[in-house]
Amino acid sequence: MPTLSAPISPSTKTPPGSFDFKKTLERNFPGAYPSDAFVEYSQFRLHPFGMNQKNSIACVSVCRDEIATPFLNRLHNVWNGAFNFSSLAGMLYLGVTGFQAAHHHAPTIDGRERYVYLNFPRITIDEQGTLGNCRRTGCQAFSQACGALIKILQGRSRVEASLDLNPEDVEQSLLTQRLFRKFGFGEIPDLVTLTKATQHIIREDLERMIQLTVETNKTDYAVFTGVQIHGLTHKDWIWIETSYVFVDGERNPLL
């Protein structure tokens, strides 16, 4: 864990010969943390506000993809268990009932409950710096991620993309509906923009659910939202767009 005198700083260090990857990462997600550093530093920043793995519950949403799982497992381990909010693209589809279930599992210490929300869609960058490409273990050819968002890019206009709720593809059709409400006809320009728009939706949904389900007179909570970036040698980075803690009725910035 970092010390008070030497907190971890954001880093984009990459293996030798990875200039193209690093350049793409810094251009699109400046100040991204290696995922392990983010996990440690986020705990370090919450400590002065009285939030730790013994008195808080972590509520985590990432994409369902198996390459997102190591980061989810890391959070699960350091927070002594995490309530899994995950869905396609990391969207929050569990609603009031799901949020209430997570909150009911939180420890009650000194009459207060504490929730730590960590919510991230994701993107991949290969060694040539190509966005959306990744190498999966055992696969010879390049794969792509986030597949759900790339599928939406392949149908950029309302004419091509159905906005009806498909009971056989519920999560993808809900994702399509939400994103096309943010963009006009054919206005989705690239994968980075689409990923960041998804992150904005996730943050909006999270904050609306907090308003509906959190009793701030007896609850403290922290919010971390951004983008999970899969990079070289199966390593992840975390880019933070929004982070704050709400304690005793007061909001304070974090990272």
End-to-end CA separation in angstroms for the chain: 16
Written as one letter, the residue type at 110 is D
pLDDT-based confidence at residue 234 (cuts at 50, 70, 90): confident
Residue 248 has pLDDT above 90, yes or no: yes
Residue 6 has pLDDT above 60, yes or no: no
Range of lowest pLDDT (46-55, 155-164, 176-185): 155-164
Alpha carbons 48 and 65: distance in angstroms, whole number: 34
Extended strands (E) in 95-202: 108-109, 112-119, 122-124, 133-134, 143-144
Written as one letter, the residue type at 1 is M
Q: How would you label 86-107 residue by residue, b for 16+ Cβ within 10 Å and e otherwise?
A: bbbbbbbebeeebbeebbeebe
What is the pLDDT at residue 8? 42
Convert the pLDDT of each residue in 179-220 to its tens digit: 988 876 667 779 999 999 999 999 999 999 999 999 999 999
Phi, psi of 251 (to 5 degrees): -95, 135
Convert the pLDDT of each residue in 107-140 to its tens digit: 999 999 999 999 999 999 988 899 988 777 666 6
Other beta carbons within 10 Å of 201: 20
Other beta carbons within 10 Å of 159: 9
Range of lowest pLDDT (154-158, 197-201, 209-213, 246-250): 154-158
Convert the pLDDT of each residue in 67-113 to its tens digit: 899 999 999 999 999 999 999 999 999 999 999 999 999 999 999 99
Quote the mean pLDDT of the chain.
Answer: 88
